[in-house]
Amino acid sequence: MAFQPVDYYNIYEQLTSEEKLVRESVADFVDNEVLPVIEHHYQAGTFPMDLVGKMAELGLFGITLPQEYGCAGANYVSYGLAMQELERGDSGVRSFASVQSSLVMFPIYTYGTEEIRKKWLPKLAAGSAIGCFGLTEPDFGSNPSGMITNAKDIDGGYLLNGAKMWITNGSLADVAVVWAKYEGEVHGFLVEKGMKGFSAPEMKGKHSLRASVTSELIFQDVEIPKENKLDVKGLKGPLSCLTQARYGIAWGAIGSAIGTYQSSLDYAKSRIQFEKPIAGFQLVQEKLVWMLNEITKGQLICMQLGHLKDSGKMNPNQVSLAKRNNVDIAIQCARIARDIHGANGILDEYPIMRHSANLESVRTYEGTHDIHTLILGADITGIQAFK
């Protein structure tokens, strides 16, 4: 069945023609190309690689970067709308695009030399190269400043040692943006597939984000050429990339919530119990209204965040509020949707359990729910409560 946009406050009416086009074309792509195959991939634990070229054709990789590098040069509202629609399909598909765009192309564009930009950005935009972002380590997740992975000077470059864990697209990647300590500070390095001493085994056994590849990255005396070091020093390097990606996740979570809401509304109208559709019972209506209410608030948060970002006035703490809120309400929507679907809610015929399980990762990655609480707490009180 064709998807009906959920837009209770007529937000889409106010979009520019370009923003409308982006949202509608990604929505069509999700309806026609993602939803028909995603359950199969989810069950098989595989990423739908066939979608990469199609996402590239839609301009979804590095969508906000300049056209001279093969990118779409779109604004951040368009980026957000694209992430919303992709995650209505599946969080793993949105993850693929987020990592490629915000965590790989953004740092290459922002901190790479012109030579490095020209080498990687057109290929990443076209989907002929895939990237990943290595920050988290087995013993350093929420606190990346403690990382052990390190780089030392050698003739003509750097020697990289250490390991990363939980890296989206790691085993697929042609280039990894890896954060490592160098001279006591965090620096970024581009590690290329095939470099001696670099391996990226896939992690198995996930109950969440099954249609996404997650990997370890292992570096044993990997020689990195000088030009592959990014021009940024300190944790603000990776955190600036995370701000971009968290922005996309805030929008994406709304897409996931729309997916479970829409399925619930359709189901409630057609499922008959006690001789009437369950949508006619007050308790079910309350659940549907709660979902719509929270989705609408989340949409308004994202639109305002997008306008702030497009006008250069957004601060990273505002992204924390949006990521924290929207992922949280999306999880609650999935939970409520499971109730509304009764036993059918556990079947792969409906998207509910897939969204629900995916969101458990989304709540943890890019800063856990509680880390974003602490970021906001520190911002409003002026007192850090991390340590």
Which segments within 313-371 are labelled E, that is strand? Answer: none
CB of 210 to ligand FAD, least distance (A): 10
| The two structure tokens encoding residue 9 | 């406050």
Q: What is the DSSP string of 156-189?
A: TEEEEEEEEEEEETGGG-SEEEEEEEETTEEEEE
Q: Position 241: which residue type?
A: C
Contacted entry of ligand FAD, ligand TGC, none for residue 242, CB cut-off 5 to 8 Å set by kind? ligand TGC
CA distance 57 to 26: 11
In the list 19, 33, 137, 366, the residue contacting ligand TGC (rule: CB under 6 A) is 366
Contacted entry of ligand FAD, ligand TGC, none for residue 316, CB cut-off 5 to 8 Å set by kind? ligand TGC
Catalytic residue among 19, 87, 216, 366: 366
Q: What is the DSSP string of 68-90?
A: GGT-----HHHHHHHHHHHHHH-
CA distance 58 to 26: 8
| The two structure tokens encoding residue 369 | 């729910």
Q: Is 227 a catalytic residue?
A: no
The contact pattern for ligand TGC, residues 303-322, with x = CB under 6 A and - = no contact, is: -------------x------
Contact 291, 261 (CB under 8 A): yes
Contact between 21 and ligand TGC per CB under 6 A: no
The contact pattern for ligand TGC, residues 268-287, with x = CB under 6 A and - = no contact, is: --------------------
CA distance 381 to 148: 31
Contacted entry of ligand TGC, ligand FAD, none for residue 78, CB cut-off 5 to 8 Å set by kind? none
Q: What is the number of the residue whose Cβ is closest to ligand FAD?
A: 141
DSSP state of 191: E
Q: Please choose, from the candidates 202, 252, 260, the residue with its C-alpha nearest in 3D space to the C-alpha of residue 45.
A: 202
CB of 214 to ligand FAD, least distance (A): 5
The contact pattern for ligand TGC, residues 336-365, with x = CB under 6 A and - = no contact, is: -----------------------------x
Nearer Cβ to ligand FAD (168/262): 168
- For the annotated catalytic residues, the residue numbers are 366
Residues in contact with ligand TGC by CB under 6 A are 95, 98-99, 133, 135-136, 142, 144-145, 168, 234-236, 239-240, 242-243, 245, 316, 365-367, 371, 375, 386
